[in-house]
Structure 1
Amino acid sequence: MGSGPNSKPKLVEGSLGYVLEDVPHLSDFIPHLPTYSNPLQDNPAYSVVKQYFVNVDDSVPEKIIAHKDSARGVHFRRAGPRQKVYFESDEVEAAIVTCGGLCPGLNTVIRELVCGLYNMYGVKTVLGINGGYKGFYAHNTITLSPKNVNDIHKRGGTILGSSRGGHDTTKIVDSIQDRGINQVYIIGGDGTQRGAAKIFEEITRRGLKVAVVGIPKTIDNDIPVIDKSFGFDTAVEEAQRAINAAHVEAESIENGIGVVKLMGRYSGFIAMFATLASRDVDCCLIPESPFYLEGPGGLYEFVERRLKENGHMVLVIAEGAGQELFTVSMQTMDASGNKLLQDVGLWISQNLKDHFAKEKIMPINLKYIDPTYMIRAVPSNASDNVYCTLLAQSAVHGAMAGYTGFTSGLVNGRQTYIPFYRIGEGPNKVVITDRMWARLLSSTNQPSFLISKGGNEDKKEEAPLDKLNGHCSDKK
């Protein structure tokens, strides 16, 4: 039934340097598929919308800054409902799975997928896969309906449970085929989306009429291409509480230092945005900007100067910052293949205490706050709830229109369908030569650490790891 997938990207070229990085369609590998009128045209809720259906040629540019002679550049297919669909409502057997770490908004996405399928397209069979990818072949499922997901957006976590690892492509696709599932919605980070791509490839190899759709999830906001990931706004908002607590503690005692560790394995977006929003932070350390401790322009010198000036200070550090300063290589991996990070928050706190005690400069009072798991577990805020709705409904529209092998994401403020391979390109990172990082440096007046004076750029103070009792933190 059909041939295997084309391993090359699906590109459509136009005039003036226009390139559409298109997503696969069921008709690419299953010929002569019937189409049906979109039931939304008879839905009274949408009767007031002018030109509700998206034009088949609509696309969204990846980059919107251009010069008068610039090529039109790369575009993605615009998300939204099409006039023709490739599934009848009664034939749809949908499945939803959540994988990886927790993130605000997971339950909202689940709710909106279920309600979108039911209310927009009349789909009555939606299964929730329990416990991540392994739930497919462990036969852990629950039936989902608008009634039993009605208020789950008010709770943190995921009602389906989650896990890392457990990806066995053959077993998963066998389960999908055996159960008669023909739409799969996969919510997870870059590793999960890579797993979704493998599922898509195996499904197309078998010639199955199954739409595989990804919804990107990472609290760190480190998925490439998209404007932001759901849960990020909530994480920044919740981080304010921890920063405020650290500020209160620090300013309430002589030479007080508040240290706050936030999420950010490879990317410091949460730490950067929380710092900019707070205005109470004196120094922000992120993975993209290496720092050093001793010598002119180093962290110790800055902390000492700030304490003499203000009598207190607040330091925010992302979990992935300063990992290069540790004395041992990190070989321990989690189930998803991610290196387990050393607890840089505890490490920097201990180093500050030891330095000021050793140098007898001044007595300090340091308070360390790690709100990581509290932030991950909260429900999404209003902004993220709306964003989750758009992501989920766009995913449903795409699957019903026969698109597959794509991730639903926001690009330049527009909902788009992005090929899986673009999501796996590597983490999105803070550009420390960009204006946003410059705004942060201007706000905190911290050293950039890009150039150390006196030739100390290679001098890194390292504390023995046994002081930290082997504390590690996993990927968020």
Structure 2
Amino acid sequence: MGSEGKTAPPKVVCGDAGYVLEDVPHLADYLPDLPTYPNPLQNNPAYSVVKQYFVNADDTVAQKIVVHKDSPRGTHFRRAGPRQRVYFESDEVHACIVTCGGLCPGLNTVIREIVCGLYDMYGVRKIIGIDGGYRGFYSCNTIDLTPKSVNDIHKRGGTILGTSRGGHDTSKIVDSIEDRGVNQVYIIGGDGTQKGASVIFEEIQRRGLKVAVAGIPKTIDNDIVVIDKSFGFDTAVEEAQRAINAAHVEAESVENGIGVVKLMGRNSGFIAMYATLASRDVDCCLIPESPFHMEGKGGLLAFIERRLKENGHMVIVVAEGAGQELITESMRSMEHQDASGNKLLLDVGLWLSHKIKDHFARNQKMAINLKYIDPTYMIRAVPSNASDNVYCTLLAHSALHGTMAGYTGFTVGPVNGRHAYIPFHRITEKQNKVVITDRMWARLLSSTNQPSFISQKDIEDAKKEDEPPTQLSDKENSHGVGVDFDTSAN
């Protein structure tokens, strides 16, 4: 990772009744004599109708919204939104945007709204895009970004800036930032990308540069903790419906038809779970968090036989990371990694299809007709839907309001429906996963009438694990379900 300075201790403020604020760094923490300026938003005619231009400096967002009467107030994060004073004059800002990792619906929307937001709300005119992910910092390949050049990019999938995995050398990246005179860096990517953003911020802080670093978390799998959901997730669930519907049509059109659909979800099965719940055509959903077995009483193959006898057809949805432990050592490649350090997984959908076919080939009493559908790259490459477009706009605006106000070393996202600034370490310390002892998973089991496949011991072990801190008591509002996002400050 190159030269990295010592990690600054977290900024934590404690208050009455168990109140804890996990604050984010600010440029004034290591550059104490910086001048401030009036926020130009107060002169922006578009904002003249807003009753309150700026969020209160002391506003915070509670991490847990459901508490008991006598429980402590708990952890809070600084509320996102425009501040009354800013730490950059508009004509001094030189911003850059970079996208890293895999594709995800909404990347172009975030790029567009950062550019248009800086341009229209703050009068910033110098904005560039880094071409090709982190490694693009090493080259001279940049793209000048203006509202005109990004006007309709949200209608296209992918990212106009290009992307890559790996390529992170902290010293070289910060050298490039310093040489180009960049003073605002917007980094869009998943947990690995945000870890990289964190060490970039630390090196910038060590060098004493007036450069604000903001992360915008991106993962189609929805596996980033603390925030309610990640952008692109709604679009992915919506697009997954097309594949499930196709599998259902194929399966019900023939005798003993089986449709197998593989969806994204390397370590977290949120897309598979929500797509299954939305579809109501799925007979079995398999995710990484819930182990299953193939053979014997209570196994998947016995369940398939029973469901075919009952209905004459069935649809199986499997997340890409499910069942990897069942694939024999001779077939698996889990010790191999991509450039980002992610384990390379075998195609569990293809493996599962072969296992099912082999089982019924040995059972001469029942012939099956199986169709396997893998829409993974089709889903990743589509433009974001209306819901994600709005969400991406709020994320972009929250990020640029924060950097203009001097905050740095943070990521943005909704926490219980309110956008907040979150320290990098909070979203990179672990992954968000489906809780199989939660009501939402119980709802899925009730919807599909599938067995849970797990033993009582597995259930007890799952109950002992710490519940992810952002998931609510009933999870009704987790991952954006039923959440009304706060738009007042954006």
Match of 1:396, as an amino acid?
A: L
- Please say if 1:65 is aligned against 2:69: no
Equivalence map 1:44-443=2 (5 Å): 44-328=45-329, 330-443=334-447
User: For residues 36-65 of structure 1, what are the alpha-carbon distances to aligned partners after superposition, in whole Å with 9 as ceiling and x for unaligned?
Assistant: 000000001001101120111000000011
CA distance in 1, matches of 2:362, 2:182: 65
**How far did residue 425 of structure 1 move?**
1.2
User: For residues 155-206 of structure 1, what are the alpha-carbon distances to aligned partners after superposition, in whole Å with 9 as ceiling and x for unaligned?
Assistant: 0000000000000100000000000000000000000000000100000000
- Aligned match of 2:9: 8
Match of 1:258, as an amino acid?
A: G
**How far did residue 228 of structure 1 move?**
0.3
**How far did residue 31 of structure 1 move?**
1.4
CA distance in 2, matches of 1:411, 1:339: 30
CA distance in 1, matches of 2:319, 2:302: 20
**How far did residue 32 of structure 1 move?**
0.7
**How far did residue 6 of structure 1 move?**
5.8
3-state SS, counterpart of residue 19 of structure 1: strand
User: For residues 64-90 of structure 1, what are the alpha-carbon distances to aligned partners after superposition, in whole Å with 9 as ceiling and x for unaligned?
Assistant: 110100100000000000000000000
3-state SS, counterpart of residue 52 of structure 1: coil
On the 8 A contact 1:5/1:204 being kept in 2, the answer is no
On the 8 A contact 2:41/2:53 being kept in 1, the answer is no
Cα RMSD (Å) of the superposition? 1.1
- Aligned match of 1:474: none
3-state SS, counterpart of residue 74 of structure 1: strand
CA distance in 2, matches of 1:350, 1:175: 50
3-state SS, counterpart of residue 150 of structure 2: coil
Match of 1:370, as an amino acid?
A: D
CA distance in 2, matches of 1:391, 1:447: 39
On the 8 A contact 1:5/1:29 being kept in 2, the answer is no
- Aligned match of 2:475: none
3-state SS, counterpart of residue 215 of structure 2: strand
User: Greater shift after overlay, 47-56 or 84-93?
Assistant: 47-56
CA distance in 1, matches of 2:321, 2:295: 20
On the 8 A contact 1:297/1:452 being kept in 2, the answer is no
Taking a change above 3 Å as real, the CA distance of residues 10 and 361 of structure 1, as seen in their structure-2 partners, is farther
User: For residues 84-135 of structure 1, what are the alpha-carbon distances to aligned partners after superposition, in whole Å with 9 as ceiling and x for unaligned?
Assistant: 0000000000000000000000000000000000000000000000000010
Structure 2-normalised TM-score?
Answer: 0.91
CA distance in 1, matches of 2:7, 2:137: 26
User: For residues 274-311 of structure 1, what are the alpha-carbon distances to aligned partners after superposition, in whole Å with 9 as ceiling and x for unaligned?
Assistant: 00000000000000000000111110110000000000
User: For residues 245-288 of structure 1, what are the alpha-carbon distances to aligned partners after superposition, in whole Å with 9 as ceiling and x for unaligned?
Assistant: 00000000000000000000000000000000000000000000
CA distance in 2, matches of 1:451, 1:92: 58
CA distance in 2, matches of 1:387, 1:361: 52
CA distance in 2, matches of 1:310, 1:359: 19
Match of 1:289, as an amino acid?
A: S
**How far did residue 146 of structure 1 move?**
0.2
3-state SS, counterpart of residue 392 of structure 1: helix
**How far did residue 347 of structure 1 move?**
0.4
| Identity, % of aligned positions | 80
Which ranges of structure 2 fall in alignment gaps of 5 or more residues? 458-490
Equivalence map 1:457-472=2 (5 Å): none
**How far did residue 361 of structure 1 move?**
3.6
Runs of 4+ in 1 over 4 A off after TM superposition: none
On the 8 A contact 2:112/2:147 being kept in 1, the answer is yes
